[in-house]
Amino acid sequence: MAAEVVKRTSEFTVRDRPDVQYAHNGDVAIAYQVFGEGPVNLVCVPGFISNLYWNWELPQFSRMLTGLGSFARVVIMDRRGIGLSDRLSPQDLPPLEVVMDDIITVMDDAGIERAAVFGWQSGATHAALMAATYPDRVSQLVTFGLNPCGLEKPGWPHSWSRTEWESYLSELRQGWGTREWVKQHVAFFAPGATSLTVENWMLTMFQLSANPATAEAVERLDMETDIRAVLPAIHRPTLVLHRPQAVTMEPQIAAYVSTQISGATVVALAGRDDSPYTGDVDAIVDEVESFLTGERHRPSLDRILSTVLFTDIVGSTQRLAELGDARWADLLARHDDLARREIDRHRGRYIDSTGDGLLAIFDGPARAVRCAQALSAALAELGLDIRAGCHTGEIELADDHIRGLAVHIGARVSALASIGEVLVSSTVKDLTAGSGLRFEDVGEHELKGVPGQWHLYRVLS
């Protein structure tokens, strides 16, 4: 059964990760997922690395997928040899026509006769080739980061030279799946997404998607691919998305594609990342939705269960008077930088600064509590004492802000904490059973502006 995907919001919410299904092209099983509802069928063809299970673990990727699923019935697949599809030895990786056969096989298995096809990175090449070869199965074509020729050639200076490719592939072989290589990879290909969350996700994604030999073989196939002669044979409505500031997306590439595909619409997007699932994913979803349906969703509210964390610097006014404006501003900047790193490390989301504290949300209460403990210890080394409070409840997401009674409760719980203390509501305590966290009952309290008595607990170190 496909997952229930809720309406698009400023943050991804999914009830269950979509089930993985398998379509068989001969002896090879191709993994795919189906999710979302809408008048449009949309087949997504990812780039050279993917893993249907792990895609959903990156908040930005989840947000992109659920955004697409808010207006379309979406099918996404792992190409053969990669991710959850059958693994192959590097020498058994197929030519492009077999990859297209796999897409058709997945569509048939999912009961889809005709669909819009959205391909990104090397998947854009496969999507474009399919639109030219199987026009009866493709209603519209959407590409992101399409480079029709993977290798620098006479008359085509927009790709890496063979020497540059060999240098990259050598580094791939030696560093695949290691943190240092992944860190360099993210910094180069996704400079707008450099964070510990993205780095950790990408590290696991590489390890789950392929081994080094297969990854190199797939990249070599993509390097040798040249579909420039195919582009004029595409006669389906086409949207060409690109980020001209990305290192792999020279503006001349999209301009060339637009001259070769009759009537193609080219949209330049802000950002420097060469993947659609990092950076401003909402802009991508908006453009795809507008192109396929003629409409765009307005930002809407959504309600999710979340754990709210508030922190507050104790004695901030006194410290400001002691340090002066300039030194205090520098200390606050160090506070914010450290706080964001800890929130990322505990898989939370930084929402806002409260002047001398912060607001963050987490999808797990134990992670919120441990983040509060880590923040308290780390900031103490800067000479800053904080108090913190956590509450789990339903919140409303609206753009980059949150609201709701749970937010007010979290703020009130934090205000009752003492120096270096983390206080939590009984809801947080009850939901962290089995986590190893220990609590001390501090009784019932009135929370200003909140009805009733609230049982609070102190987190023990």
The string of pLDDT tens digits covering residues 71-124 is 999 999 999 999 999 988 877 777 778 888 999 999 999 999 999 999 999 999
Torsion of CA 187, 193, 199, 204, to 10 degrees: -110
Q: How far apart are CA 249 and CA 271, in angstroms?
A: 11
- Enter the tokens of residue 289: 């939705």
Encoded amino acid at 315, one letter:
G
Contact between 243 and 270 (Cβ < 8 Å): yes
At 245 the three-state DSSP class reads: coil
Give 153's DSSP letter. B
Contact between 297 and 7 (Cβ < 8 Å): yes
Model confidence over 355-384: pLDDT tens digits? 788 999 998 899 999 999 999 999 998 889
Question: ∠ at Cα 38 (35, 39), nearest 5°?
Answer: 130
pLDDT at 83: 93
pLDDT at 330: 83
What average pLDDT does this structure show over 425-440? 92
Model confidence over 172-192: pLDDT tens digits? 999 998 989 988 888 888 887
At 252 the three-state DSSP class reads: helix
Q: What is the DSSP string of 52-66?
A: HHHHTTSHHHHHHHH
CA-closest candidate to residue 99, choices 215, 10, 218, 216:
218
Long-range contacts of 218-221 (CB under 8 A, 24+ apart): 218/48, 218/79, 218/81, 218/82, 218/93, 218/122, 219/48, 219/168, 219/169, 219/172, 220/169, 221/93, 221/95, 221/96
- Domains along the sequence of the chain with CATH: 21-293 (3.40.50.1820), 302-460 (3.30.70.1230)
Encoded amino acid at 434, one letter:
G
- Residues in Cβ contact with 199 at an 8 Å cutoff, skipping those fewer than 6 apart: 179, 182, 183, 186
Mean pLDDT, the chain, integer: 88
Q: How far is CA 248 from CA 42, 144, 190, 216, 224, in A?
A: 25, 11, 10, 18, 16
The pTM (predicted TM-score) of the whole model is 0.66
Q: Does residue 3 carry a pLDDT above 50?
A: no
What average pLDDT does this structure show over 130-146? 95
Contact between 440 and 457 (Cβ < 8 Å): yes
CA neighbours within 13 Å on the CB side: how many for 425?
A: 26
Q: How far apart are CA 394 and CA 166, in angstroms?
A: 52
Handedness of CA 293, 299, 303, 307 (dihedral sign): positive
Torsion of CA 22, 208, 200, 365, to 10 degrees: 50
Contact between 98 and 126 (Cβ < 8 Å): no
